[in-house]
Structures are given as structure tokens and as C-alpha cells.
Amino acid sequence: MITARSTATAGSARASAGGSGARRAARLGAAAFLVVLAAGCQSRSPETTGSIGSAPPSGFASGLPSVLGFGSGGGDARRISRRDVDALGTKYAEAPNDLGIAMRYAQGLRATGQLTQAVAVLQQAALRNARNTAVLAAYGKALAEVGRLQEAAEVLQNAHTPAQPDWRVLSAQGSVADQLGDHARAQGFYDAALKIRPNEPTVLSNLGLSYALARQLDQAEATLQLAAGQPGADARVHQNLALVLGLKGNLPEAEATLRRVLPPEEAAANVASLRAFLARKSGQAADKTARKPAPRG
């Protein structure tokens, strides 16, 4: 249940977590390198885990996200205009207790990149509707979008129950766990989601990239190949596959994958970003090797 007290508790948890910042930074090292690659290679706004909406480019098809992407709906949500959002804002100001208006307004805010405002609207909706799992799910994903990951994890665990699990929420929980560096836990969430929704391409895509974050590139490629082969897989899933192919050094196949699913100009831009990232990564590795002290005789 989300209450004003639980929100305050989450805030204190963030404060205590600050003392372990160095340890967390180390855990997030793998995530950071993949996010940099993904941000350059995925020009489309990624769908959230389990198809819940739009977020800043992060390379994860479903998510958080991204590291994994999060969001609020399908393609229609991403095409909402600023004028529509302003109109919803006026309605919300007139009737802040109307849950339907609040949810549509928050969705519009998220779809137009106004993430902090969306969090504020959803926080109030969650305080007023503490047992509404749809509200909690949207609020948890919005928190993850703005980087408030510990709070997001707390809210999302209340957005469904073991008796009635929601595969979308499970996938979102996996996204948060991946961003926190706990890839084994993240993969457990994705596996649970896939038991409910077998071969769901967005969940498979997140699972594949979780393997990549854990440096298990063979498993990552196999999982993403499976995701890309599903009827519902969109271009973002194929983009994620291209990321992993590039990381494995199979740049020709990565480029071919991008060119199959993207318009020519967008594919060319993605290919250029992928090449640039891999070149930087190779240069950094060579620089580290050059700086290693020579072995003593």
C-alpha cells in the first residue's frame, strides 16, 4: 500500500543508500556501458517493459528503459500532442480527484517527455488510490523513468500480488533490478513473466539484454534471436539484437539486422552510431592495455 508515510520511508531509504554509492557505482558499470551504446543506436523512443509506453532512448525494447525503458501505452500514446496534454492539464486542475483524467494526463505527460510532472500527478493518484494496482504500476514505472529506482522497486512490488501476478509488472520489476545491477534477480522476474506470457517478445528482449549486461553474450544473442522471431516483435527488438551482435564483434550481421527493419536513413544513422561506439570501446580497451605496467623480470 502506498501512503504518505511509505513515500517518506522510500526517501529515507535513498538517503541511507547514499553511503553505499561507491559499491553501487561499481555494480552499475556494466549497465552504463550498454546504455551508452543503446542511447546512440536506438533513435526511436523505446516501448516499456510489457508495452507500457515511451521513455528516453535507452535501447531496451520493453523497457526502463530501459537501463531499460518504461512508458505508458502504445503508439497512439507517443503521438499525443502538446495541445492535447495542455487540455488534459486543464481538466486535471478542475477535477484532480478524477482518476481517469489523472491517468490520461500522466500518460500524456510521459509521452511528451514531461516525466517529473507525470511522477507528481501519479504520486497524488497513488496516495488517493493506494489499492489500485493499475495506478501503482504506472507510478512505479514513472519513478523508474526518472531514476528513483529504490522507490520504483517498492511501489512495483505492491502493484500486483503472488495470487494475481501481472507479467507487465514483473517485466518492469526486472527492468528496475537490471538498472540496480542485480541481473540475476532481474532474470528471475523476466522468467516469471514469461511463464505467464510465453515468448512475449518485449520480455524476451529485456531478458536478452539482461544477459548482455551480465556479460553472457551467447545467451543474450540466443534469447534476442528468439525474441526477434516472434510475430509481435517490432523494430526495437531487432535493434536490441543488433546491439548484442555488435558487442560480439559480428558487425556485418548487426548492420544487416538494422537495415532489414529500419528505413534507410534511420538504419544508416544507427549503423554509424554502432560503429562509432564499438570503435571507442576498442580504443579504450587498447589504451588500458597500453597503460598496464610491464611485467618485472
Place of cell 518504461: 70
Low-confidence ranges of the chain (pLDDT < 50): 1-33, 35-77
pLDDT value of residue 32 = 41
pLDDT value of residue 44 = 33
pLDDT value of residue 6 = 42
Q: Are 257 and 237 in contact (CB under 8 A)?
A: no
From CA 278, how far away is CA 56, in angstroms rounded?
Answer: 22
pLDDT value of residue 294 = 65
pLDDT value of residue 132 = 97
pLDDT value of residue 96 = 95
CA distances from 222 to 36, 102, 124, 216 (A): 22, 41, 42, 10
C-alpha Rg value of the chain to the nearest Å: 20
From CA 110, how far away is CA 115, in angstroms rounded?
Answer: 5
pTM, rounded to two decimals: 0.75
pLDDT value of residue 291 = 75
Q: Are 221 and 241 in contact (CB under 8 A)?
A: yes
From CA 24, how far away is CA 131, in angstroms rounded?
Answer: 32
What domains can be seen in the chain, in order of their start residue? Answer: 26-286 (1.25.40.10)
Nearest to 59 by CA among 49, 69, 74: 69
Other beta carbons less than 10 A from residue 116's beta carbon: 11
